[in-house]
Structure 1
Amino acid sequence: MQEQRQPIQRLDYTPPPFLIDRVDLTFELEETNTRVLSRLVLKRNPAHPNATAPLVLDGEELALESIKLDGKQLAQDDYELGDDTLTIAQLPDECILEIATRINPLTNTTLSGLYVSNGNFFTQCEAEGFRRITWYLDRPDVMAKFTTTIIADKTRYPVLLGNGNRVDQGVLDRNRHWVKWVDPFKKPSYLFALVAGKLVVLADRYTTGSGKNVNVEIWVEPGDVEKCHHALASAKAAMAWDEERFGLEYDLDTYMIVAVSDFNMGAMENKGLNIFNTKYVLARPETATDVDFDGIESVVAHEYFHNWTGNRVTCRDWFQLSLKEGLTVFRDQEFSSDIGSRAVQRIGNVRTLREYQFPEDAGPQAHPVRPDSYLEINNFYTATVYEKGSEVVRMIYTLVGHDGFRKGTDLYFKRHDGQAVTCDDFVAAMADANDIDLTQFKRWYSQSGTPRVTVEGVYDQDAKTFTLTVEQHCPATPGQSEKQPYLIPLALGLLDRSGAELPLVLAGESDTGVTSRVLQLKQAKERFVFTGIHSHPVPSLLRDFSAPVKLDYPYADEELVFLIAHDSDPFARWEAANTYLTRLLLQRYQQEAGHAAAPAQLVAAFEKLLTQDRIDPALVALMLQLPSEQFLFEALNEVDPTRLHQVRQALKQSLAKELRAPLIAVYQKLHSTEPYQYNAEQAGRRSLKNVALDYLAELDEPRITELLTNQYRHADNMTDRLAALAAFNQREGGDQYLADFASMWQDDALVMDKWFGLQALSDRPGALARVQQLMSHPAFAMTNPNKVRSLITTFCSRNMAHFHAVDGYGYAFAADRVLELDKINPQIAARLAACFNRWTRVEPSRRAMMRAELERVARQPGLSPDTFEIVSKALQAGK
Structure 2
Amino acid sequence: MRTDTGQVIHLADYRPTDFVLERVDLTFELDPTETKVEARLIFHRRPGTDPAAPIVLDGDELILSGLLFDQVELDPSRYDATPESLTVRDLPESAPFELTITTVINPEANTKLMGLYRTGGIYCTQCEAEGFRRITYFPDRPDVLAPFTVNIVADKDANPLLLSNGNFLGGAGYGPGKHFAAWFDPHPKPSYLFALVAGDLGVVEDTFTTMSGREVVLKIYVEHGKEPRAAYAMDALKRSMKWDEERFGREYDLDIFMIVAVSDFNMGAMENKGLNVFNDKYVLADPEIATDADYANIETIIAHEYFHNWTGNRITCRDWFQLCLKEGLTVYRDHEFSSDQRSRAVKRIAEVRHLKSEQFPEDGGPLAHPVRPTTYREINNFYTTTVYEKGSEVTRMIATLLGKDGFKKGMDLYFDRHDGEAVTIEDFVKCFEDASGRDLTQFSLWYHQAGTPLVTASGSYDAAAGSFTLSLEQMIPATPGQPSKEPMHIPLSLALFGENGGKIEPTSVDGAEYAGEVLHLTGRTQTAVFHGVGSRPVVSINRSFSAPINLHFDQSPADLAHLARHETDHFARWQALTDLALPNLLKAARDAREGKPVVCEATFVETLIAAAADESLEPAFRAQALALPSESDIARELGGNNDPDAIHAGRQAVLKQIADAGKDVFAGLYAAMTTSGDFNPDAKSAGLRALRNSALTYLSHAEQTPARAKAAFDAANNMTDLSHALTILAHRFPDSAETSEALATFRERFAENALVIDKWFAIQAGIPGAKTLGRVRALMDDPLFKRTNPNRMRSLVGTFAFANPTGFGRADGEGYRFLADQILDIDGRNPQLAARILTSMRSWRSLESVRADHARSALIEIERAADLSTDVRDIVERTLKG
Tell me, yes or no, whether TM beats 0.5.
Answer: yes
Deviates more, 1:379-388 or 1:428-437: 428-437
Q: Tell me how far 1:594 sits from its aligned partner.
A: 6.0
Q: For residues 38 and 383 of structure 1, what CA distance do their matches in structure 2 show?
A: 36
1:284 counterpart residue number: 286
Could you tell me whether the CA contact under 8 Å between 2:769 and 2:806 is conserved in 1? no
Paired residue type of 1:662: V
Listed as ranges, the matches of 1:159-174 within 5 Å are 159-174=161-176
Could you tell me whether the CA contact under 8 Å between 2:62 and 2:82 is conserved in 1? no
2:677 counterpart residue number: 674
Q: Tell me how far 1:716 sits from its aligned partner.
A: 1.7
Q: For residues 167 and 649 of structure 1, what CA distance do their matches in structure 2 show?
A: 62
Query: Residues 317-349 of structure 1, C-alpha deviation per residue, up to 9 Å, x if partnerless?
Result: 000000000000000000000111000111111
2:814 counterpart residue number: 809
Other structure's SS at 1:185 match: strand
1:843 counterpart residue number: 848
2:50 aligned with 1:50, yes or no?
yes
1:776 counterpart residue number: 781
Q: Tell me how far 1:765 sits from its aligned partner.
A: 5.3
1:135 counterpart residue number: 137
Other structure's SS at 1:534 match: coil
Listed as ranges, the matches of 1:694-713 within 5 Å are 694-700=697-703, 705-713=706-714
Could you tell me whether the CA contact under 8 Å between 2:561 and 2:607 is conserved in 1? yes
Paired residue type of 1:874: T
Paired residue type of 1:417: D
2:563 aligned with 1:560, yes or no?
no
Query: Residues 482-515 of structure 1, C-alpha deviation per residue, up to 9 Å, x if partnerless?
Result: 1011111010000011211000333469x99x9x
The one of 333, 356, 365 aligned to 1:354: 356
Q: Tell me how far 1:782 sits from its aligned partner.
A: 1.5
Listed as ranges, the matches of 1:401-550 within 5 Å are 401-507=403-509, 517-550=517-550
Q: For residues 507 and 419 of structure 1, what CA distance do their matches in structure 2 show?
A: 44
Listed as ranges, the matches of 1:70-109 within 5 Å are 70-92=70-92, 93=94, 94-109=96-111
Query: Residues 114-147 of structure 1, C-alpha deviation per residue, up to 9 Å, x if partnerless?
Result: 0011011000000000000011000000001000
Could you tell me whether the CA contact under 8 Å between 2:675 and 2:685 is conserved in 1? no
1:863 counterpart residue number: 868
2:651 aligned with 1:652, yes or no?
no
Specify every segment of 5 or more residues in structure 1 that has no aligned partner in the other structure, as ranges.
Answer: none
Could you tell me whether the CA contact under 8 Å between 1:219 and 1:258 is conserved in 2? yes
Paired residue type of 1:773: A
Other structure's SS at 2:744 match: helix
Q: Tell me how far 1:764 sits from its aligned partner.
A: 5.3
Q: Tell me how far 1:460 sits from its aligned partner.
A: 0.6
Deviates more, 1:225-234 or 1:576-585: 576-585
Could you tell me whether the CA contact under 8 Å between 1:312 and 1:417 is conserved in 2? yes
Q: Tell me how far 1:711 sits from its aligned partner.
A: 2.1
Deviates more, 1:577-586 or 1:159-168: 577-586
Q: Tell me how far 1:624 sits from its aligned partner.
A: 1.2
The number of aligned residues is 870
Q: For residues 274 and 465 of structure 2, what CA distance do their matches in structure 1 show?
A: 63
Deviates more, 1:746-755 or 1:608-617: 608-617
Could you tell me whether the CA contact under 8 Å between 2:510 and 2:528 is conserved in 1? no
Q: Tell me how far 1:190 sits from its aligned partner.
A: 0.1
2:23 counterpart residue number: 22
Q: For residues 852 and 160 of structure 2, what CA distance do their matches in structure 1 show?
A: 55
Q: Tell me how far 1:52 sits from its aligned partner.
A: 2.7
Paired residue type of 2:598: A
Listed as ranges, the matches of 1:606-621 within 5 Å are 606-621=608-623
The one of 633, 636, 641 aligned to 1:634: 636
2:181 counterpart residue number: 179
1:725 counterpart residue number: 726
TM-score (norm 2): 0.97
Could you tell me whether the CA contact under 8 Å between 2:63 and 2:82 is conserved in 1? no
Other structure's SS at 2:360 match: helix
Paired residue type of 1:583: P
Q: Tell me how far 1:698 sits from its aligned partner.
A: 1.9
Could you tell me whether the CA contact under 8 Å between 2:30 and 2:152 is conserved in 1? yes
Q: Tell me how far 1:596 sits from its aligned partner.
A: 2.3
1:31 counterpart residue number: 32
Q: For residues 723 and 56 of structure 1, what CA distance do their matches in structure 2 show?
A: 55
Percent of paired sites with the same residue: 48
Other structure's SS at 1:691 match: helix
Paired residue type of 1:497: E
Could you tell me whether the CA contact under 8 Å between 2:588 and 2:653 is conserved in 1? no
Q: For residues 710 and 845 of structure 2, what CA distance do their matches in structure 1 show?
A: 43
Deviates more, 1:308-317 or 1:430-439: 430-439
Q: Tell me how far 1:81 sits from its aligned partner.
A: 1.6
Q: Tell me how far 1:364 sits from its aligned partner.
A: 0.6
Other structure's SS at 2:312 match: coil
Q: Tell me how far 1:603 sits from its aligned partner.
A: 2.4
Query: Residues 808-861 of structure 1, C-alpha deviation per residue, up to 9 Å, x if partnerless?
Result: 110000100010011010001101111211111111111111111111100111
Q: For residues 671 and 425 of structure 2, what CA distance do their matches in structure 1 show?
A: 52
Could you tell me whether the CA contact under 8 Å between 1:465 and 1:532 is conserved in 2? yes
Could you tell me whether the CA contact under 8 Å between 1:595 and 1:647 is conserved in 2? no
Query: Residues 230-277 of structure 1, C-alpha deviation per residue, up to 9 Å, x if partnerless?
Result: 000000000000000011100000000000000000000000000000
Residues 1:561 and 1:8: Cα distance change in structure 2 (over 3 Å): same
Could you tell me whether the CA contact under 8 Å between 2:510 and 2:529 is conserved in 1? no
Q: Tell me how far 1:602 sits from its aligned partner.
A: 2.2
Q: Tell me how far 1:727 sits from its aligned partner.
A: 0.9
The one of 372, 377, 380 aligned to 1:378: 380
Specify every segment of 5 or more residues in structure 2 that has no aligned partner in the other structure, as ranges.
Answer: none
Could you tell me whether the CA contact under 8 Å between 2:612 and 2:625 is conserved in 1? no
Could you tell me whether the CA contact under 8 Å between 2:590 and 2:646 is conserved in 1? no
Residues 1:589 and 1:366: Cα distance change in structure 2 (over 3 Å): same
Other structure's SS at 1:440 match: coil
TM-score (norm 1): 0.97
Q: For residues 171 and 627 of structure 1, what CA distance do their matches in structure 2 show?
A: 60
Q: For residues 724 and 771 of structure 1, what CA distance do their matches in structure 2 show?
A: 21
Paired residue type of 1:249: E
Paired residue type of 1:56: V
Deviates more, 1:135-144 or 1:405-414: 405-414
